[in-house]
Amino acid sequence: MSTAELHTLTGAYALHALAPDERAEFERHLEVCPACAQEVRELAATTTRLGLAVAVTPPPELKALVMRRIATERQEPPKVTRESRGTGGGGAKGRALSRFALAACLAAAAGFGGIAVWQQQEAQDARAQAQTSQRQSEALAAVLAAPDAKIRTGGLTDGATGTVVVSRDRDKAAFIASGMPKPPSGKVYQLWFNDDGTMRDAGLMDPSATSDSVLMAGSVGAASGMGITVEPAGGSAQPTSDPLALMNFPT
């Protein structure tokens, strides 16, 4: 891996998203690169601060519930290989089993060709998704750790909280929500940039997550704030409902 590529891994390293070999190589790079070491420290401090902001204390009864569930789970018995009976392997039964095993192997081999193609495609899709996720994580971490980043936290709906982080130098903003109720079936939370009263699409939140960190889509531009609405699955070109919350960007 080139030095230029190593410089881009600070966000993934701070979020523990590197493979073991990449992590080892990056840690060797950290020993000789003060700039990356400083950026990692800043990213780690920021992620810790944001983690504490959205931390949830588990209810006292959770431990008792887990212990009760453990007691009801059946343990799988150990797998024991049955020893072959008799000392001879050349009987008619043995030959029949051998022919059966050979036929099974041939059938499996014929099927594995198609399975291999499917597995290769699945692996490629998973690799592409992982690379996209890593790029998004790195971009989000870069905004959170930007030297000029400004943070504002406010109340949302039903006791939820939201934190917006804005970096004017990067022209990007991130939104972190905690305790959001799940949207109605077939609906999704959509984020908007507020351009002097005109709402501009800034991406969707994960409808299955009550806490989420999102790099808002598009540039901040001249936006003075942001809003959140409930929209049909897939999002809308313009808001179709009253905003659940409006937040001014920190100055």
- Look at phi and psi of residue 16 and say left if phi exceeds 0, alpha if psi is from -120 to 50, else beta: left
Q: How far apart are CA 155 and CA 170, in angstroms?
A: 26
For the whole model, what pTM was predicted? Answer: 0.50
Q: How far apart are CA 169 and CA 146, in angstroms?
A: 8
Domain segments of the chain as ranges: 1-56+103-145, 150-248
- Structure tokens that stand for 120 in this block: 């290769």
Q: How far apart are CA 78 and CA 26, in angstroms?
A: 41
Helix (H) or strand (E) holding 225: strand 225-232
pLDDT by position in tens, the chain (length 251) = 777 777 788 777 777 777 888 888 888 888 888 888 887 777 776 665 555 555 555 666 566 666 666 555 555 555 555 554 555 445 555 454 455 555 555 455 545 555 444 445 555 555 555 555 566 677 777 887 888 888 888 888 777 888 888 999 999 998 888 888 888 899 999 999 999 889 999 999 888 776 778 889 999 999 999 999 999 999 999 999 888 888 899 87
Whether 205 contacts 233, CB under 8 Å? no
Sign of CA dihedral 108, 109, 115, 116: positive
